[in-house]
Amino acid sequence: MVTLKTVVKLKGVTSKEVYDFMLNLNDADYQRWWKGTHLICHTVKKYPGDIGNIVYADEFVGKYRVKGYCVITELIPNREMVYQIKVGIKIPAWFIMRFEDLDDGINLVHIVEAGGYGIWRIFDPLLRLYLNKSYEKALTEHAHTEFPMLAAMLVKERQS
């Protein structure tokens, strides 16, 4: 299993605000969040209760273009969102966001996990070819830039 984890402290927002924004994301809001870097993100197919929703996203993470489909597999309202990558079928790769409330905001925990357990770990070296140190650095920088931008945008919208 390959795990890339970043924790970003966001001031002035609640976990509910960020959770609701992410769950209801559309292309216009995604692009407004980080113009030129966030290209497309919207729900392609929606299900009651949102488990199973299929989401398409396209963005730049540093020099890397990241685009494709994912399926919401787990939701704990205002606490956790789990998206599993889908390339025709769901593959053993996940994007996870966890929200931890603080007195003056939240900690947003951003996790990318890929790989398997047991015998499936033999594929971890192949995954490391893509999820390498360069990508990990770009992803960490991306998260430390994008999420404070989101918090500022949500605070500004709340105040208008």
Cα dihedral across residues 85, 54, 96, 133: positive or negative? positive
3-state per-residue secondary structure call for 2-25: EEEEEEEEEECCCHHHHHHHHHCC
Could you tell me the two tokens for 34? Answer: 């980080």
Cα 53 from chain centroid (whole Å): 14
Query: Closest Cα partner for 142 from 2, 10, 50, 6?
Result: 6
Question: Which CB contacts under 8 angstroms, 24+ apart, belong to 96-104?
Answer: 97/22, 99/15, 99/18, 99/19, 100/15, 101/14, 101/15, 102/9, 104/11, 104/12
Query: Which domains, ranges and CATH numbers included, belong to the chain?
Result: 2-159 (3.30.530.20)
pLDDT by residue, tens only, the chain of 160 residues? 899 999 999 999 999 999 999 999 999 999 999 999 999 999 999 999 999 999 999 999 999 999 999 999 999 999 999 999 999 999 889 999 999 999 999 999 999 999 987 777 787 888 888 899 999 999 999 999 999 999 999 999 999 8
pTM assigned to the model: 0.93
